[in-house]
Structure 1
Amino acid sequence: MDQLLLDILENERPYAWIYQFFIMAIVSMIPFAPIPVLAAFIASNHAFFPGFAINMLGTTLGSFLLFLFSKSVLRHAARNYVTKKKHLSKYLALIEKNGFLAVLLGRIIPIVPSAGINLIAGISNVGVGAFITATLLGKLPVILAYSLAGHQIAAGNWGTVLIVALYVLILFLIGGKLKRKWSN
């Protein structure tokens, strides 16, 4: 089983890109999943644009499916959980006030894990169109960075990898600072 998964991820099976796409969709629904590592690994096994497309479209599909699941099935239970957590309830209030902007910023600056954004947006009044648009725009720079890093690792361009890593680190530091601000 491990070898099959590795063959699929390393693009050694026919139509491996389809499997990789669905793996990204599934993994993006799991809180704290290693999406950066998986996205970089997938991108390292393709030309840049196909790797980026697999990562971007797979994570967006997973986000959308979790959003719909939250909106239709988990709405009541998730709302009860979120209102008990101070920083999550503040994020819910922000989403209720301006859903598009809150989802967009949450995607660009990692304040809440991606799966958390999907769940919180699902229990809020955010519309499907606003969610998808904000998700696509917000994921674009981060998934682009992960894909570029993976592609550059495969090419041995460590200078570019370092720049991308610094960019992602800065985003996480800003996200951590915002999260601490919201938690107080």
Structure 2
Amino acid sequence: MQQHPSLLLLFAIGLLVGFFPIVPYGIVSGLFGFLYGWFAGGLLSLLCSTLASLLMYGLVKLTISPHTPESQQSVHPFMQQLQRHAFMAIVFARMLPIVPSQLINITCSIARIPWRIFLLATLIGKLPVMFLFSSVGSQFISHPGRTLLITGLYLLLMIILYRVYVKYQSRRNLD
């Protein structure tokens, strides 16, 4: 029988790394997948990273956001787009592992995105990424070919979703 580190200890580490990016979170998620399998590792990754995001969002909302003048929150075109298309912007940003989670958390809090939209979009956006990294971790040693296949399929999914979104936006702009 294989010995695993304490689940509570790993949860604390996952939460800590989600809040303070000591290492890329994909490594933590891959480790969870390696230790607990793709499904349990993916769930643990999703729970830890989402909770860390929600805590940071709340902390910024309580400390920094109240001191940001409303005039500065929507001056920049990026902030205007974020406020107008918050849900989809958060989902897509979360699905791109190169976008730092902390940047998303802080920006959404300063832009005063409602926490329910933030939470739901965060869960939906993080879901495929956390399970991808967890799957890679669970099969990295035993099936390296599958790891490449899973990663390639994820990249294909991202391209398809992006194209659908662009097509949707162009149709919406015509109306």
Instruction: Output the TM-score relative to the length of structure 2.
Output: 0.75
Corresponding position: 1:69 with 2:59: yes
Between the aligned residues of both structures, percent identity stands at: 26
CA contact (8 A) 1:67 1:122 kept: yes
Deviates more, 1:162-171 or 1:16-25: 162-171
Q: Deviations over 1:58-94 (max 9, x none)?
A: 00000100110111112267x59xx7xxxxx554332
- 1:105 CA drift (Å): 1.3
Mapping for residues 4-153 of structure 1, pairs under 5 Å: 12-13=4-5, 16-31=6-21, 33-75=23-65, 89-110=76-97, 112-153=99-140
Question: Looking at both structures, which has the greater relative contact order when contacts are Cα pairs under 8 Å and sequence separation is at least 6?
Answer: 2
CA drift at 1:128: 1.0
Q: Of the two, which has the highest radius of gyration?
A: 2
- Residue segments in structure 1 that go unaligned for 5+ positions in a row: 1-9, 84-88, 176-184
Matched, 1:159 2:159: no
Post-superposition CA distance 1:1-56 (Å, at most 9, x none): xxxxxxxxx9634xx11221221122112357411111101210113322111111
RMSD, aligned α-carbons: 2.9
Runs of 5+ unmatched residues, structure 2: 163-175
Aligned to 1:3: none
For residues 151 and 111 of structure 1, the distance between their equivalents in structure 2, rounded to whole angstroms, comes to 21
Alpha-carbon distance between aligned partners in 2 of 1:24 and 1:130, rounded to the nearest angstrom: 23
Looking at structure 1, the residues matched to 128 and 96 of structure 2 have their Cα atoms a distance apart, in angstroms, of 10
Moved over 6 A (4+): none
